[in-house]
Chains A and B, each alone.
Chain A
Amino acid sequence: MNFQDPLFWRAGAVSTTLVMLVVLAFLTIDSYNYISVGGKNVPKYDVINQEIGYRYDWSRREDAPVIGGSQPLFGKAVTEAEATRIMEKGKLVIQSRNCLNCHTFFGNGAYYAPDLTKSWLDPAWSQIWMPMTGKATREDAMVEFLMHPDKYPTWTRAMPNMQLTEDEARATVAYLKWLSAINTNGFPAGFGQAKTQP
């Protein structure tokens, strides 16, 4: 072995890269068992028909979503096919309105506005926005807020009006409900459990 010979290091570079790529390929195949819709960590889209919670799991030593009994969104259960169509719409709203350049999902995006991973479970909906909007349910308050966010500022900040139609706002709420049911290995930790809430 001649460590001063560039060819020695070339062989090292090529073999290391190939080994790592093969390992990554296997890990990617296995990860799909978890991240596909209906996989081990990502529920089917019709999970929006059920109650969703987020609690500390002592066996895993981290927070985990808890899927409970029936709790249809907007009071109406949807089929799996309908739920898929709604999610497609919701994702298109999120992309077309460039949400990720203020907010984050799973902590990815910009850092100007709150993370939305567990936004469906945010106590602010019942504590602040239901009274502010005069709506009786969390989802109705969310729709009202998403359609006219500039009318409901929080402290010095307000969300700009992105001109969402009612259909678009409802699809976005559905998307956020589904998102909150994904197992994210405990991220964000202790969501909504701090005593700093009003």
Chain B
Amino acid sequence: MYRSQKLALRYLTAAATLFGVMIVFGLLSSLYYLYPSMLFNVFNFNMSKTMHIDTLVIWLLMGLMGAIYWYLPKELETEVEGIWLAELMFWIFCAAVVVVALVFLFVQYGSSNQFSLWFINQGRKYVEAPRWAAIGITLVMLVFSYNVIATSIKAKRKMTGILWVLVIDLIPLVAVYLDAFPADTNLSTDLYWWWWLVHMWVESTWEVLIGCVMAWVLMDVMGTQRRIVEAWLYIEVMLVLGAGILGLGHHYFWIGTPRYWLSIGGFFSALEPLPLLGMVMHAVYDAGMHRLKTSNQPAYYWITTEAFLNFIGAGVWGFMMTLPQINMFSHGTQWTASHGHFAFYGAYVCGIIAVLYVAKQRVSGVEVLGGNRWKWGYGLLNLGMVGMVMGLLLAGMAQAFYGRAAGGSTLMAFTMASENPWFTSGMYARVGFGFVFAAGYVMLIYDLLTAPRALPRAEPQAQPEPA
């Protein structure tokens, strides 16, 4: 095993651990809706929510980095260049995450001065981490980029298509993250650029990164031919960026931007499900070509689920509320939270779990990974997520109808919608299915940490060469 793959295991372990922390704070956040006086003035909703979404971003980023450190030496058949620096950065990254978490738990907020932004909380959603930590993340990503680029240059093998996409994607990965720093007084310009971070970084740059990882996983667990995964990867990049760059406009409906964004954002974001539909077609095509035979059953199931739930969660759920006529009322309600949960889960979580199983197979040294135990985690996580998403959708629709459309969005309207039985029953469902999801996480970790049973070898069927 390459040193880079050992580092990947560390990243994947850290990611899986933070996945658990994210779930704990997700459950806690959901309970505030049912018990509003819980931990009042001690640990308020805003800090619980901050912990929930920041651990989400960090565990997914670590998972993506782990996946790339895993596959990079395999792709180039050489050790990663500057691996010692990458190993050092891993520990710095972990230490920074722990320090930021402790500050969030025990200091929480400061006075209205620059010191607070540098050392306590930046107070910009998703980039609450103080500036020193954001600089740290930039450094980690720079070292990561150096690792990928230097290894690609040094390796004697020809650059592959997947690597080209990855290397070019590193430019926006670092450049767009710089958006974590400004704190413009004017909220309109502040949000204009903040959406570049949230939409372009998480929804576009990451989407391309996970596309590269998925291409490798498909070749790995199903033996799909490189030219097929690379053609699909290019098509996906073309459609993701072709629709997604101006699809950014669906965040520019109501922040003080000109009216033409309503048409541009509405049109291009309506196209955004297309690349995700392409992924579904790809998955069905591959599954058919291989007659569902694979050497790594859990990874195969998770990667296929990724394709379907990415399309439904990001694509269909996003489309449902992306046209301005609907977004006027759905925007900023639990409807958005429903889409957010489903999209992150479908787009990234399922894919990274597939990589966890790829790594498990290699570490445990079994030729075929299968059995029944992994199905508990798979079933409970999927059931829990779909249940939460439906609960949030119910609550969000109640808010959109009663709080926004009928109530006119005032404090009184917000309060009345929050006490509407459709809203409260949706929130109860969310908490209940949240616990199902947490049980799924426990089963996933239990399965990952337990030695697999040896199964008879069943090689994936060789794919016929196209004529």
Query: CB of B110 within 8 A of chain A?
Result: yes
Interface residues on B, range: 35 or more
Min CB distance A37 to B, Å, is 5
A141 CB to nearest chain B CB (Å): 13
Shortest Cβ distance from residue B122 to the other chain A in the assembled complex, whole angstroms: 6
B332 touches A111 (CB 8 A): yes
- Provide the bound-state CA to CA distance between A23 and B36, in Å: 46
User: Known: A40-B258, A110-B125, A168-B112. Is A192-B47 also a contact (CB below 8 A)?
Assistant: no
> A39 to B107, alpha carbons, bound, how many Å?
38
B334 proximity list for chain A (CB < 8 A): 111
Asked if A194 meets B238 with Cβ closer than 8 Å, knowing A95-B117, A187-B328, the reply is no
**Is there contact, CB below 8 Å, between A185 and B259?**
yes
A residues less than 8 Å from B122 (CB atoms): 95
Question: In the complex, what residues of A have CB within 8 A of residue B184's CB?
Answer: 91
Name the prevailing secondary structure of the B interface residues: helix
Closest residue to A186 on the B side, CB-wise?
B328
- Complex partner residue of B410 from A21, A156, A160, A192, CB under 8 angstroms: A192
A27 to B187, CA, bound (A): 19
B137 within 8 A of partner (CB): no
Known: A13-B234, A96-B113, A150-B41. A41 touches B412 (CB 8 A): no
Q: Within 8 Å CB of B336, what residues of A?
A: 111
Neighbouring B residues of A171 by C-beta, 8 Å: 112
Given the complex of chains A and B, what is the CA–CA distance between A31 and B33 in angstroms? 38
Q: Using Cβ atoms and an 8 Å threshold, which residues of chain B touch A71? A: none
Stretch at the interface among B81-89, B248-256, B434-442: B248-256
Of A9, A98, A108, A168, which is within 8 A of B231 by CB? A9
Indicate if B372 sits at the interface (CB-CB under 8 A): no
- Chain A residues within an 8 Å CB radius of B246: 20, 23-24, 27
- Which of B188, B234, B259, B332 contacts A10 (CB under 8 A)? B234
Complex contact B124–A100 (CB within 8 A) = yes
CB-based nearest A residue for B35: A156
Residues of B within 8 A of A109 (CB): 125, 332
Q: In the complex the two chains form, is B252's CB within 8 Å of A31's CB?
A: yes
Instruction: Give the residues in chain A near B264, CB-CB below 8 Å.
Output: 27
Q: Mark A84-125, 1 if CB is under 8 A from B, else 0.
A: 100111011111111111101111111111110111001110
- The closest CB in chain A to the CB of B242 belongs to A16
Residues of A within 8 A of B117 (CB): 92, 95-96
Q: Is the CB of B258 within 8 A of A41?
A: yes
Question: Which of chain B's residues have a CB closer than 8 A to the CB of A31?
Answer: 192, 252, 257-258, 261
Partner of B44, one of A28, A35, A160: A160
Cβ of B330 to closest chain A Cβ, rounded Å: 9
Does the CB pair A182–B415 fall under 8 Å?
no
Choose from A6, A100, A114 the contact partner of B227 (Cβ within 8 Å): A6
Assess whether B410 is in contact with A191, with CB atoms less than 8 Å apart. yes
Contact B123 A198 (CB under 8 A): no
Q: Contact check: which of B114, B255, B337 meets A111 at CB < 8 Å?
A: B337
Contact B408 A192 (CB under 8 A): yes
Q: Which residue from A30, A93, A95, A104 sits with its C-beta under 8 Å from B332?
A: A104
Of all chain B residues, the one with the shortest Cβ separation from A16 is B242
Q: Which residues between 169 and 198 of chain A lie within 8 Å of chain B, taking CB atoms?
A: 171, 179, 182-194, 196-198
Q: CB-CB < 8 A to A158: which residues of B?
A: 36-37, 40
Q: List the A side residues contacting B112 at CB < 8 Å.
A: 89, 92-93, 95-97, 168, 171
User: Which among B7-15, B68-76, B147-155, B399-407 touches the partner chain?
Assistant: B399-407
A154 at the interface (CB under 8 A from B): yes
A154 to B183 Cα, complex, angstroms: 32
Q: Mark A128-172, 1 if CB is under 8 A from B, else 0.
A: 000000000000000000000010001111101110000010010
Interface contact A110-B415, CB-CB below 8 Å: no
Cα–Cα, bound, A94→B128 (Å): 12
25 contacts between A and B (CB under 8 A): A6-B230, A12-B234, A12-B238, A16-B238, A31-B192, A34-B258, A35-B192, A84-B185, A87-B185, A92-B116, A96-B117, A101-B45, A101-B46, A101-B128, A102-B46, A105-B191, A109-B332, A111-B399, A123-B410, A124-B410, A188-B328, A188-B409, A189-B329, A192-B410, A196-B406
Q: Lowest 9 A-B CB distances belong to which pairs?
A: A107-B332, A95-B123, A9-B234, A188-B409, A187-B254, A101-B46, A194-B408, A20-B245, A92-B112
A-to-B contact residues, CB < 8 Å: 4-6, 9-10, 12-13, 16-17, 20-21, 23-24, 27-28, 30-37, 40-42, 84, 87-89, 91-102, 104-115, 117-119, 122-124, 150, 154-158, 160-162, 168, 171, 179, 182-194, 196-198
For the A-B complex with A42-B186, A96-B120, A107-B254 known, give 17 more contacts whose Cβ atoms are closer than 8 Å. Answer: A6-B230, A13-B234, A17-B237, A17-B242, A31-B252, A87-B185, A88-B185, A89-B112, A92-B117, A96-B109, A96-B123, A99-B123, A101-B45, A115-B414, A157-B36, A179-B187, A189-B408
